[in-house]
Structure 1
C-alpha cells in the first residue's frame, strides 16, 4: 500500500442520511439490562447501519400476570426510530410466572412456553399485545433465538416442536398486527434435518423470512448454506426470503461465546467483520446483521443465584466496555477498529447498488522487476463485482486466508474493460481511499485497462470505477 497515494477517506454517514440499507447491527440483551442504551444510541446511528435487532423481554415486561410494563421497550424503540434506525424484534425469552423452569435461569433464556395450555395462552396474549402496540413502528418479528441450540431450547432442540411454536406465535403476531412480517429460524447449527422438520409442520406457510446465524471461521462456507436454505424453503413456500441475523467474533482471546479461545485481536475482529458481511452481500440476503454493538456478558447458560455462571464476558462489540460486579457494561463504550470497518461498509453499500458480473478478470501470474514473487491468481482470491444506478462499478477482492494464523499481503494483476475511468482503491478496513500510480495501470485508449501488481490483503479491498463511493 505504500506505493499508493492516499487521497481521502470514506465519508461516515449517519443513519438519518441513508434511506435503505442491507446492513444491520445487534442491540440485544436489553431484556436483561446488560448495558446502558442511552450511551450507545448516537454511536450506533453514526455507523450508518439501518436494521437493529432487539429482544422483546417477556419476563421484564410481564412481572404481574396480565400487566404489561412497556416503558423500557417503548424507550428503546422510540430512540432507535428517532435516529432513523429500523428495529426488528426477536420475541423471547421465557417467563417464570407461567414456566417454573424459567425462574431458575438467568434472563429466563431457553425456556419456551410450550408445555401447558396456560403457558401457551399467556405467550399468545403477550405477543399479540406487543405487536399491536408497535404496529406502524416495527414490521419484523422473529420467533425466538437459536432454538436449534440447547442453550436456547434447554429441554433439547426439536425442529417439529419449534415449528408448532412458530405457527402459534405467527398467529399471535398477526392477531396484533395483520401487516407484520414473521421471521423464523434464527438457526445457528448446520442441520437441514432440523430445518426440514420445522418447515414440514406447516410453519413455512406462516413465515415471511428465514433467519440464520453465521458463527464459523470461513466466510465462504455460507454460500452453500444459504443456497441450501433457500432451496429447502422454496419447497414449502417460495416467497420466503433470507436474513443473516447474527455473525461476529471476539476482539480478544479470553472471551466467552462463539469462536472463543482463538487468538483474536481488534484487527482480526475487523477483518472477520468485513469478510463476513461482504460475503453476505454476495448471497443477496435481505439484510445482514453484525453481533453486536457492545461488549457484554454472554449470559446464555447462567443460573439464578449463581453469579459466576453468567459472568461470562464476551467481546463481540464494535464498542468496547468495562464491567461492574454484576456484569453490566460500563465505561465510555469506545469504538474499536471494527466500528470504523462497519461504518465504511454501511457508507459504501447503501441504497442503489446490486451484485453484478463485471468485465474484470485476473491476469496470469507474472514476475516484475518491481516485485520479488509472482502475483496471486484466480481461485485462491475472492473477486466479485457490484454496480450502482449512476453507472459506477466496483470490484471487491481479498485473500481468504486463515485470519487467526496469517497476516497476508501479496499482489494481484487484473484486466478490466469498458468501465468508468475514474478509478480508486479503497481499504474497507479503515476507509482509506487511494489513487493508483501510473505504473500500476496501463490504458490502451480503447476501453481496456491492465492493473499491475495491485496490493492484495486478507481483508477486502475495493477497486472502484466512477462515483461508486
Structure 2
C-alpha cells in the first residue's frame, strides 16, 4: 500500500506543481522527538508483536506505550513471573531505537479480588490481591528500570463504575510509592483518563492526591480523547490543563491515546461513523499537529489493528481497525495503511529540533472554522514551517467530495524558497505564484483542505525525488 494521493489532483489544479517527496526517517535516524506510538493490548494477545514489531522502527516515533499485563506475567498466584514475552517486546523496541514507557495494568483473576484483564473489572481490591500487585509492580520496575524511566499507573479507571476517583487516587499513591521506592527518579504518569466524557474524574482524583500531600508522586496526567472532529478536543484539553495547573503546577499533560479507525465497526471509540483509510489518515494528522501546536506530547493509537476477545473482564470482542497496519484475523500484517505513511511524514519532520511548546494560532480569513500555526526550529529567529487546515468538520472519506478553497493567513515571516507540503501524500509542491513571498503582512490564495497542508522553507525538509 502507498500513501493516499486523493488530494494531489486538486492541488495540481490549484497551480501547485509536484516537486519532490518527504524523505521519511527511521527512529534510529532521529535523535529524539515527543512522538509515541501505541502498542497496547499485547498483554492480552489482541495483536502479535512478532508480526507488527518489524514495522515499528521505520515509522519514526521515538517512544512506544506498552501495557505490562500482570495476569500474563503471573498466571498462577505463586510470585513466579513469566517475563519472557515482555522481555522480547521491550528489547525489540530498544533495538529499533524506540523508548518504551510501561503501563502497570490490568488486574489478575488468579487472586480473589484481583480484578480482570480488561477495563470493566477495575483495580485490585482485596488485601491479598493488593499485596500481590505491589510485589509485581516492584519486580517489574526492578527488571526494566535500567532501560525504562516512565511508568503509567492503570488505564481509564473511570470505565469501571465501581472505581471511584477516591479509589483510584488511593491506588495511584500506593503504586507510585512502590515505583519510586524501586526507582527514585521514575517519571510517573497517572489517570490515563477519557476526558471528553468524564472530565471531572481525574480532577476529583487529583484533588484527593494533592490533599494527601502526594502530588510529588505524579509527573504527568495522560488524557485520552476520541471526538469525531479531531479539532474539537483541544479546547477541552487546554481547559483541563489549566485546572490541573491550578492544583499542582508541576504536573504536565500528555495525550496518551488518540487515534481513528479505518473502517466502520460496531465497537470501540468512534464507532457509529463512516470511516475509511483516507479519513483515518487525515484525522490522525490533524490530531498530531494540533497537539504539537498546543505543546502536548502525543501517543497515536495504535501501530496495528487488534482483534479483541471477550474474556476475563474484557469489554469488547472483534476487530478494532485503529491500527496503522492492517492485520488479518490471524494477526499477520496485510499492509501498511495510508495512515502509517501520513504519521511517518510528521514524525520524520517534527523531531526535537522543533521545540514542543504552545503556539498562538495565526490570524486568517476563511469562510468556515479553520486553524493555522507557525513552527520555528531551535536556533532560528523566525518561523520556517506554517501548517493549516479546515477544522469545521471531520475529514471527508469520499474523494469525490474533497474540495480546496483559498485561505488568507497573516504571514509570520517571508520565506526565501517556499514549498508546499501535503502531509497525507508526502508530496512536496512548488506552491502557487507568490505564496510565502507575498509580503510580511499576509499570504493570500493558499489552498485549504480538510487535511493539513504546509508552507516551509525547502531547506528545512528532508526530501527525496518523486
Give the Å deviation of 1:38. 2.1
**Is 2:98 the partner of 1:85?**
yes
1:346-357 matches, within 5 Å, as: 346-354=347-355, 355=357
Partner residue of 2:378 out of 382, 389, 395 = 389
How big is each residue's C-alpha offset from its partner over 1:168-226, in whole Å with a ceiling of 9 and x where there is no partner? 01011112211211100100143343223211222533201100001112323333322
1:14-163 matches, within 5 Å, as: 14-64=26-76, 65-99=78-112, 102=115, 107-149=117-159, 153=160, 155-163=161-169
Going from structure 1 to structure 2, the CA distance change for 1:269 and 1:260 (only over 3 Å counts) comes to same
How big is each residue's C-alpha offset from its partner over 1:373-396, in whole Å with a ceiling of 9 and x where there is no partner? xxx35x622111110125351111
Give the Å deviation of 1:297. 2.2
CA distance in 2, matches of 1:317, 1:399: 24
**Is 2:176 the partner of 1:176?**
no
Give the Å deviation of 1:310. 4.6
- The answer to whether the 8 A contact 2:423-2:453 is kept is yes
Give the Å deviation of 1:47. 0.9
For 1:282, the equivalent position in structure 2 comes to 293
Partner residue of 1:456 out of 445, 448, 458 = 448
Partner residue of 1:422 out of 417, 420, 423 = 417
**Is 2:355 the partner of 1:344?**
no
Secondary structure class of the residue paired with 1:184: strand
Secondary structure class of the residue paired with 1:388: coil
**Is 2:298 the partner of 1:291?**
no
How big is each residue's C-alpha offset from its partner over 1:56-98, in whole Å with a ceiling of 9 and x where there is no partner? 0101101232111111111110110111101111110111121
**Is 2:264 the partner of 1:253?**
yes
**Is 2:188 the partner of 1:188?**
no
Partner residue of 2:277 out of 259, 263, 266 = 266
CA distance in 2, matches of 1:180, 1:443: 48
Question: What is the TM-score of this pair, normalised by structure 2?
Answer: 0.87
For 1:407, the equivalent position in structure 2 comes to 402
Secondary structure class of the residue paired with 1:398: strand
For 1:199, the equivalent position in structure 2 comes to 206
Gaps of 5+ in 2: 1-10, 462-466
Aligned residues: 436
For 2:252, the equivalent position in structure 1 comes to 241
Going from structure 1 to structure 2, the CA distance change for 1:144 and 1:421 (only over 3 Å counts) comes to same
CA distance in 1, matches of 2:173, 2:360: 43
Give the Å deviation of 1:32. 1.0
Going from structure 1 to structure 2, the CA distance change for 1:18 and 1:95 (only over 3 Å counts) comes to same
How big is each residue's C-alpha offset from its partner over 1:309-334, in whole Å with a ceiling of 9 and x where there is no partner? 8532110000001104xxxx23x341
Larger RCO (CA under 8 A, 6+ residues apart): 2
- The answer to whether the 8 A contact 2:114-2:130 is kept is no
- The answer to whether the 8 A contact 1:21-1:351 is kept is yes
Question: What is the TM-score of this pair, normalised by structure 1?
Answer: 0.86
Going from structure 1 to structure 2, the CA distance change for 1:57 and 1:304 (only over 3 Å counts) comes to closer
Gaps of 5+ in 1: 365-375
**Is 2:333 the partner of 1:320?**
no
- The answer to whether the 8 A contact 2:267-2:316 is kept is no
